[in-house]
Amino acid sequence: MNRRTLYVGGLSPATKLEPLRVMLEQFGLIEDIRMTTRRSSTGENPGIAYVTFKTSESAMAARRVLDGSELDGARIRVDIAR
C-alpha cells in the first residue's frame, strides 16, 4: 500500500459502500474503494474499508478531517493503510 491508500475502521454494520464513497469524494478523486464483507469469528461485520485516492494530498486531507468522525452512528478510524 502507499500514502494514497487509507484504512477506514470501526464502520457500522449498517454502512453501505455508496454513502462511504460520497463522504470520501469531497476530498478528491477515488481510484478504488473496497469494503470487507466477510464476517469475523464473532459473527460481526468487521467494519473495514480501504480507499485509494488519486493523490496523497487528498488522502491526507481525508485522514485529517475524518479520523474520529461519526458515520451511521459509529465513530470511525481513518489512517494510512499498512
Distance between CA atoms of residues 17 and 32, nearest Å: 11
C-alpha grid cell, residue 31: 481510484
What domains lie within the chain, and their CATH numbers? 5-80 (3.30.70.330)
How many separate helices (H) and strands (E) can be counted in the chain? 2, 6
pLDDT of residue 13: 87
Give the pLDDT confidence of 35-78 residue by residue, as tens digits. Answer: 986 666 665 667 899 999 999 999 999 999 999 999 999 999 99
pTM: 0.86
DSSP label at 25?
A: H
Provide the sign of the torsion angle of the four alpha carbons 29, 70, 20, 51, taken in this order: positive
